[in-house]
Structure 1
Amino acid sequence: MRAVGRNDKNRVLWGTRVRGGLAVLTVAAIASGCTQSERGDRSETPHGSRARPAPGRQPLLAPPARALDAYATRLRTAALARAAAARRWGLAKVPLTAPAPPAKKPRITTRKGFEVDGHAEDDLPPVFTTIPTEQKIVFLTIDDGAEKDPAFLRMMTELKIPYTAFLSDYLIKEDYGYFKRMQRAGVGLNNHTLNHPYLPGLSYARQKHEICGMQDVIEERYGKRPVLFRPPFGSYNGNTLRAAKSCGITHAPLWNEEVFVDHWAYREWDRDIHPGDIVLSHFRGKEHWKGTMPDMIRRFLDRVTAKGYAVARLEDYL
């Protein structure tokens, strides 16, 4: 029998250490693999073997983390696109984004002094100029339909500014398609009578014809019978609201401010905007104003943004 020398002992000891080290590494690898599998961090090849991430790339996140990361990416992309659009359209600042509309809608009542005889008793549509809210939001409404500026549609779509239209048939019938494109962008199309008359000067029957007739036009052309009605010039009487109710109208919003291409007009003594105010403008161009509809929107957005207000969608609060 050969005596065991120092070299043999060293070889045995080294082999034992190697086997022990491999066992430790194997256990660690198994534990690591289980942890990665639980986290969803492990990617595999079609044959089931683990694949390392490409150089410079992070391992995949777990599904909830991936969803949050994708959502954050969409928000960043949308913010960058809105900032680029604000620069492109010459705005002083990027418009603020309105908060989500309330799950419970505010109770809308007729503004004091705007009632007609029998308003409450006959449950007539409320006439109001402001939405009850403490949030710094305003609502843009645009009347009639005379100007049909494609640049206006592009501007509002790129900036993602909500607004509500009140249309008169005698002005829109030359191009129903323009307002169809508006509707596809999410804009509510509402009633501003067939021919824009001074309604209190008409009989009940003629008022009903103007209002119900416009209901029919909007339903035929745009597939939906509106529930919002704005009387031309903001003028109405008891017959107006009774006729409107008979035609399916539930609300009659007026306005607290009006914006033009070169100035603002105010209903209140403080000549300022307030939370929940409804702002009026018109579909007008250079034939009527010293500028274009994008010029008007620029004046509107620059002021409300500077005052810390966002623009919300009126229908979301009714």
Structure 2
Amino acid sequence: MEKDQLFTRRRMLLGSAALLGAAGAGGVLMSGGGDEAARTTAGLAGPQARQVLKPSAFRLQPLIGAGTPHNAVPGKLKVRHQPILRLTGKGRNMMLTFDDGPHPDYTPHILDTLAKYDVRAMFFVCGEMAVDNKELLARMAEEGHVVGNHTWDHPLLTQLTRGDIRDQIERTSDVIEDAYGDRPQWFRAPYGAWNRATFQLGAEMGMEPMAWTVDTTDWMTPGTSTVIKRVEHGAAPGVVILSHDAGGDRTQSVRAIREYLPYLLDHGYHLTVPPRRMT
């Protein structure tokens, strides 16, 4: 549990800054603005929540649309100045995201709940966790979830050199590709701390920057009922929910999703994921 304790100390130290950053950006559609922003997120869609999934197809095909061939090198991406914060488009679409894992004590329970309701989610994994739990990344691939890059060991990237940032991201992408079957197409900076080098390097490696709209603050272990209320009260079309499946005791996160996921579905929300390959 040494890694968990380290994550917890980091989050308590920098959590308030991350919350301020997320709150200040909460009403923004995404970086870049205009037509470019709309084109990028217009494809963020997934299966109907209660549709029966066919896991065997997920490793061989993009999640939606034509996409590009499996393991194809992604095209050059535009360097953004802000991360993507929410989904666009018509309908009651939302996305669940989980950071810092995978963790053998918590991630399987979250995956079980998602599978129960035939829902896909997004997992931003840390390389040092993924390398010891590759079977969980393989399960994510088989069950149609999207895996993003969350650096190797969750540092504050704004305090690192450009070379160190690249190393943090590349090492993690290598582990993801080995276990998941694809290099990640999405990146999330720890603590929501972005800088120019982070945006540039992510784009060079074929990854779009993804942030969030609603932070459950489950990393503070505020109580299961509080986590549930933050999701249910924050639910709205286009919302991206931030939760965690590692980095500390995530028992509350496991219990909370069992309550708020059926609530969201019963209230007509479509839980979705972005495509594996941008078109």
**TM class by shorter-chain length?**
0.5 to 0.7
Where 1:140 maps in the other structure, the secondary structure is strand
Taking the aligned partners of 1:127 and 1:266, their CA distance within structure 2 comes to: 26
1:123 aligns with 2:78: yes
1:139 aligned residue (79, 87, 95): 95
2:185 aligned residue (223, 227, 233): 227
1:275 aligns with 2:230: no
Letter in 1 for 2:211: L
Taking the aligned partners of 1:234 and 1:240, their CA distance within structure 2 comes to: 11
TM-score, with normalisation over the residues of structure 2?
A: 0.62
> Residue deviations 1:158-208, cap 9 Å, x none?
210110111101122222112211211111222111111000011111111
Unpaired segments ≥5 residues, structure 2:
1-49, 54-62, 68-76, 219-223
Going from structure 1 to structure 2, the CA distance change for 1:222 and 1:316 (only over 3 Å counts) comes to closer
Taking the aligned partners of 1:128 and 1:205, their CA distance within structure 2 comes to: 24
Going from structure 1 to structure 2, the CA distance change for 1:316 and 1:144 (only over 3 Å counts) comes to same
1:217 aligns with 2:175: yes
In structure 2, the residue matched to 1:208 is 166
Question: How far did residue 157 of structure 1 move?
Answer: 1.5
Taking the aligned partners of 2:130 and 2:64, their CA distance within structure 1 comes to: 33
Question: How far did residue 252 of structure 1 move?
Answer: 0.7
> Residue deviations 1:54-73, cap 9 Å, x none?
xxxxxxxxxxxxxxxxxxxx
Question: How far did residue 225 of structure 1 move?
Answer: 1.1
- Equivalent residue runs for 1:91-110 within 5 Å: none
Where 2:90 maps in the other structure, the secondary structure is coil
Aligned residues: 200
In structure 2, the residue matched to 1:41 is none
Contact 1:168 1:196 in 2 (8 A): yes
In structure 1, the residue matched to 2:72 is none
- Equivalent residue runs for 1:149-188 within 5 Å: 149=106, 150-188=108-146
In structure 2, the residue matched to 1:256 is 213
Letter in 2 for 1:258: D
> Residue deviations 1:237-286, cap 9 Å, x none?
0011111122222x11100012334324999xxx633211111111149x
Identity of aligned residues (%): 23
Contact 2:127 2:151 in 1 (8 A): yes
Letter in 1 for 2:189: P
Taking the aligned partners of 1:248 and 1:221, their CA distance within structure 2 comes to: 18
Q: Let me know the Cα RMSD of the aligned residues.
A: 3.3
Unpaired segments ≥5 residues, structure 1:
1-77, 83-100, 106-121
In structure 2, the residue matched to 1:243 is 201
Taking the aligned partners of 1:266 and 1:205, their CA distance within structure 2 comes to: 41
In structure 1, the residue matched to 2:257 is 297
TM-score, with normalisation over the residues of structure 1?
A: 0.55
Taking the aligned partners of 1:257 and 1:265, their CA distance within structure 2 comes to: 12
Rg larger for: 1
Going from structure 1 to structure 2, the CA distance change for 1:284 and 1:219 (only over 3 Å counts) comes to closer
Runs of 4 or more consecutive aligned structure 1 residues displaced over 6 Å after TM superposition: 101-105
In structure 1, the residue matched to 2:5 is none
Where 2:182 maps in the other structure, the secondary structure is coil
